[in-house]
């Protein structure tokens, strides 16, 4: 169970995930959250970069030291965190995002949030897990390579003509981790998505629709059918069900990023 959340904030760090790892090595307890105004080396998955321009976005990470969690349940924590971000954006701003499995939240077809879960093992067991969340809040523009597929809270509020309204980084950070605590404590009882699957699928981008699965060696079309109890994506290819595990596979809509 996750009980207490302790928030720390720094103006600039390399990566909030790496700062949490350092503290975990020093014996820090579960529930520490480190957030930063900007990251000089923000990380995406598999060596990709995450942009967090100064004071425009949220970069926040939490330390978890789940007792006796199985190794195979760890990737599911990303899926749980995605539900928390979606829920917080809905509660605070009425922005109804979709979850692009496994680790993005999208609004109007563009990415507003990315999640990176990392872990370390000791003596053959999971020692600690770091859940890192990046959310674009005040960003009005993005680097050229991502401009077509990125959005922010403020850009979405402008689209809805909500003049004078803006996101609030501290408030949103707090709301995300409060939601995370609620979903995580449901997840950790069974170490799977059985208590969350229904809500997850309601918010899954491309649910029941055609998607493109982009693996390293090939790419093919499939229909997204939902998730398994472990949080893996179920797709249908040639009338047969297939399970997509996290890793190096990307799932895209047929006509664009989502």
In the complex, which residues of this chain contact ligand BT5 (CB under 6 A)? 15-17, 39, 42-45, 48-52, 59-61, 103-104, 111, 114-116, 132-134, 136, 146, 150
**Among residues 50 and 200, whose Cβ is nearest to ligand BT5?**
50
**Among residues 52 and 191, whose Cβ is nearest to ligand BT5?**
52
CB of 150 to ligand BT5, least distance (A): 4
Residue showing the smallest CB distance to ligand BT5 in the complex: 114
**Among residues 1 and 41, whose Cβ is nearest to ligand BT5?**
41
Q: Give CA–CA dist 13/64, Å, rounded.
A: 20
CB of 166 to ligand BT5, least distance (A): 17
Return the H-helix or E-strand segment holding 115: strand 110-122
**Among residues 53 and 195, whose Cβ is nearest to ligand BT5?**
53
Cβ count within 10 A of residue 99: 25
Order of strands across the sheet that contains 240-244: 240-244, 233-237, 219-227, 210-214, 250-253
Q: Give CA–CA dist 170/195, Å, rounded.
A: 29
CB of 13 to ligand BT5, least distance (A): 9
Q: Give CA–CA dist 43/221, Å, rounded.
A: 29
Strand boundaries in 56-109, DSSP class E: 57-64, 98-100, 104-107
CB of 168 to ligand BT5, least distance (A): 18
């Amino acid at each position: 169970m996750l009980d207490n959340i302790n928030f720390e904030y720094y103006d600039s760090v390399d990566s909030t995930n790496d700062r949490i790892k350092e503290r975990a090595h020093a014996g820090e307890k579960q529930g520490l959250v480190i957030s930063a105004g900007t990251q000089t080396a923000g990380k995406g998955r598999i060596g990709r970069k995450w942009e967090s321009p100064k004071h425009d976005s949220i970069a926040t990470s939490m330390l978890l030291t789940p007792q006796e969690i199985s190794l195979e349940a760890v990737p599911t924590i990303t899926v749980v965190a995605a539900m928390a971000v979606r829920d917080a954006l809905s509660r605070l701003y009425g922005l109804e995002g979709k979850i692009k499995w496994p680790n993005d939240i999208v609004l109007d077809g563009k990415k507003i949030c990315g999640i990176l879960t990392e872990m370390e093992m000791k003596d053959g067991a999971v020692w600690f897990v770091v859940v890192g969340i990046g959310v674009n809040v005040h960003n009005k523009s993005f680097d050229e390579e991502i401009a077509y597929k990125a959005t922010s809270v403020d850009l979405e509020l402008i689209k809805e003509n909500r003049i004078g309204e803006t996101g609030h980084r501290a408030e949103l950070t707090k709301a995300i981790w409060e939601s995370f605590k609620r979903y995580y404590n449901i997840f950790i009882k069974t170490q799977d998505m059985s208590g969350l699957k229904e809500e997850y699928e309601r918010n899954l981008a491309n649910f029941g629709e055609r998607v493109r699965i982009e693996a390293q060696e090939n790419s093919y079309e499939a229909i997204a059918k939902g998730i398994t109890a472990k949080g893996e994506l179920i797709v249908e290819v040639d009338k047969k069900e297939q399970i997509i595990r996290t890793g190096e596979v990307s799932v895209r809509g047929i006509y664009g990023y989502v």
